Structure 1
Amino acid sequence: MSDVFAELVGQDEAVETLRRAAAAADGMLAGASAGTGMTHAWIFTGPPGSGRSVAARAFAAALQCVRGIGCGECAGCHTTLAGTHADVRFVVPEGLSISVNEMRALVLRAASAPSGGRWQVLVISDADRLTEAAGNALLKAIEEPPPRTVFLLCTPSTHPDDISVTIRSRCRLVPLRQAPAEAVAAMLVERDGIAPEVANWAAAAAQGHVSRARQLARDPEARKRREAVLAVPRRLTGVGACFDAASALIEAAEAEAEASVVETDAAERAALQTALGAGGTGRGAAGAIRGAAGQIKDLERRQKSRATRAQRDALDRALVDLAGFYRDVLTASLGAPVAPVHTDTAAQATAAAGKWSPEATLRRLEAVLDCRTAIDTNVKPRIAVEAMMLALWRG
């Protein structure tokens, strides 16, 4: 890796902004003024897969870099990128929201001086999941920050539904864009050793989502799940078929989510039981286990919330793939001079364009996007998906 920003694909303007800020921050430690390059609170926005968290992590590494440039070689860079730096805290919500208790602990951490690094850096992934109370707790810290603390927030947009207006007004904005498919494909070839034809296909199918492109290029199971999703339009032959397709989509998301969290759940439960004295034979060991029911129940609650989040994330990936198909149908109907998202289903998209009017295709595309919005606002996934399937069938 040449520097800490190497993983940030197709974001030249954002990288330049962050490099200047890191240089200004280095000067501040030497006694210079911040100028216009550095501030204590930042918001990274952009569509899924644009690299919001990647940018925040890279910037955190640049701030801890002993050379002040994000060299990617020093201990500050390495430990930050690995997530083990003592003065960099990453808050990644496992459930549907970030609670006020989590944020209060974060604010308490922000009040301390760096223990060995150059800055105390607090990175909040998916800051749009802050509860109102958690947002208020964060706002107080941002309004009166300690001199060596930097807040990095990641959120899809600056819309009030994603981040409060007051928090936004106190942060510097770094907008990221959807990475061009060509840039994503080049990265897969150069850094991951993916064959060029596979890289080009995966980059287009992932619609600029870097990690999704990497997954499609490497994981046969991910490709099978995508193929099953893209077969949905052909399966919608009646009301019964709509409900069957909805059940299949939900069950596939549940299975994918369960597979993604099962090892973590088992390790957490084993670690908690060991900490509570499981397997012990000394006096009071059995009593300690019996008295730990509350801690076990709390762990189960957190794991259930994480599983729900994982299921919704898996379902959203499927809906994005489905939206891409209807987008391809629409562009084929209109004769738009753009490349298809799903090159392997281009023939089906062209055939569908010959049967559906552009208006009917647009209604289908809107049905998929409405389903994503409904799930994001906590409508039961099964209800939202069943309604979508019926809308797709009716056109």
Structure 2
Amino acid sequence: MDAVDVPWGGVWSQPDAVATLRSAASDPAALSHAWLITGPPGSGRSNLAYAFAAALIADEGDEAAMRQVLAGTHPDLTALRTEQVVIRIDEARRLVERAYFAPSVGRYRVIVVEDADRMVERTSNVLLKALEEPPERTVWVLCAPSDADLLPTIRSRVRTLRLREPELADVARLIAERTGVDAALAEQSARHAQRHIGMAQRLATDAATRERRDGTLRAVLAVRGVGDAVDVAARVVQSATDDAKALTAERDEAERASLLHTVGVPEGGPIPPAVRAQVNALEEEQKRRATRSLRDGIDRALTDLQSMFRDVVMLQFGRDTDLVNAELAPQLHALADAWPPARTLIVLDHLAETRRNLEQNVAPALALESLLITVATGRTP
């Protein structure tokens, strides 16, 4: 990568946003003290946030410092990317404390919050004072899918930068370049991921993920009654649980081994009472991360179902192009003919409600059972 491409070379398909932030980083008069970067999942919010942080912290041309920021190791960068259901209030308080430190070696101190939409109201309120009375030479960069995901009091104190959704063909081309898969698989993965770059890359490179997705959609299409609904709901939850375990198990074990090595406990040896509290704290953190991973997996399945029933509505209104799930076209045509559009819209409404309920900690199996009963009957339980 040429020096001119650092730090913006990792930002893809957002030229207008890059131009805005590049200008702000080089002109103090155009720099707001707090920014909110919004865009659909996979649009590159976090990549852009760290590129902006690098441009703010490092002097122009200081490629080494920029790369240090991009790697997350620069002392003037504080970043929060939660892997839990919500951002905890103690985490927010630590961010605010760091915000009042002067930059140690860089031009600015930058606080990046990748998942600002995961703050509950009382946690958001912790940030308000820092946003209302910004410390000198500190810049906040929040990331969220939409500005509607944050409290109005937060939104009024930030400058919002909205990212555009990338074109399907552009995502497919990027996936083919990154992974080396053929053009047809890259296009299918980009389409099934609904242009989410990270998910498209996973679909392109992991046959098991593709099979799970296809199996979930076909199972839901086959639901005919309450018994089917209960069975398929259990299978979707189990599939998401297995996927979450596969993603976290190796990391959990490595973290535990690293902690025990650090405190001098030999492999397989007993854990001294003095160390047990640290091990228990790590296990609790891992449990919270697993819960988030499970909920993300179920939400991904619901997103896939939304795409399928969106395809059905498209067919019912005479549009048979641009289907997300073109491979299921015969089944989708049959469903479009069998159902009135009103029934499909009821299912889509219940899908959106189910996603909201899961964010409120409703039991996943019960939420999915209710949804699939609506699929089977056309009525909300």
Q: Quick one: which of 13, 18, 23 aligns to 2:21? A: 18
Quick check: 1:246–1:385 contact (8 Å CA) kept in 2? yes
Q: Quick one: which of 279, 287, 294 aligns to 1:304? A: 287
Quick check: 2:237–2:364 contact (8 Å CA) kept in 1? yes
Q: Secondary structure at the match of 2:323?
A: coil
Deviations 1:142-168 (A, max 9, x none): 222222211111122222xx2222222
Displacement after TM superposition at 1:197 (Å): 1.8
Residue in 2 that maps onto 1:77: 66
Q: Secondary structure at the match of 2:8?
A: coil
Q: Quick one: which of 89, 93, 96 aligns to 1:100? A: 89
Residue in 2 that maps onto 1:128: 117
Separation in 1, partners of 2:7, 2:212 = 33
| Letter in structure 2 aligned against 1:158 | D
When the two chains are superposed, the root-mean-square deviation of aligned CA atoms in Å is: 2.2
Residue in 2 that maps onto 1:27: none
Deviations 1:5-31 (A, max 9, x none): 34444433322211221221xxxxxxx
Residue in 2 that maps onto 1:147: 136
Structure 1 residues 3 and 279, CA, compared in 2 at 3 Å: closer, same or farther? Answer: closer
Displacement after TM superposition at 1:65 (Å): 4.2
Deviates more, 1:332-341 or 1:250-259: 332-341
Separation in 2, partners of 1:393, 1:97 = 33
Separation in 2, partners of 1:88, 1:145 = 16
Quick check: 1:128–1:155 contact (8 Å CA) kept in 2? yes
Asked whether 1:58 is paired with 2:51, we answer: yes
Deviates more, 1:318-327 or 1:264-273: 264-273
Quick check: 1:4–1:58 contact (8 Å CA) kept in 2? yes
Q: Secondary structure at the match of 1:113?
A: coil
Separation in 2, partners of 1:9, 1:342 = 25
Deviations 1:350-378 (A, max 9, x none): 22112111111222222222211111122
| Letter in structure 1 aligned against 2:20 | T
Separation in 2, partners of 1:67, 1:193 = 34
Give unpaired runs (5+ residues) of structure 1: 25-33
Q: Secondary structure at the match of 1:332?
A: helix
Q: Secondary structure at the match of 1:227?
A: helix
Separation in 1, partners of 2:211, 2:310 = 21
Deviations 1:169-221 (A, max 9, x none): 11110112322212212222344434222222111111121111111111112
Residue in 1 that maps onto 2:256: 269
Separation in 1, partners of 2:165, 2:197 = 9
Displacement after TM superposition at 1:337 (Å): 6.0
Residue in 1 that maps onto 2:329: 346
Quick check: 1:128–1:163 contact (8 Å CA) kept in 2? yes
Deviates more, 1:239-248 or 1:131-140: 131-140
TM-score (norm. length: structure 1): 0.88
Residue in 2 that maps onto 1:183: 170
Displacement after TM superposition at 1:306 (Å): 0.6
Asked whether 1:158 is paired with 2:147, we answer: yes
Separation in 2, partners of 1:321, 1:331 = 15
Within-5 A mapping of 1:326-341: 326-336=309-319, 338-341=321-324
Asked whether 1:115 is paired with 2:118, we answer: no
Q: Secondary structure at the match of 2:67?
A: helix
Displacement after TM superposition at 1:86 (Å): 2.4
Separation in 2, partners of 1:156, 1:19 = 22
| Letter in structure 1 aligned against 2:258 | A
* Percent of residue pairs bearing the same amino acid type: 41
Displacement after TM superposition at 1:347 (Å): 2.3
Displacement after TM superposition at 1:240 (Å): 1.1
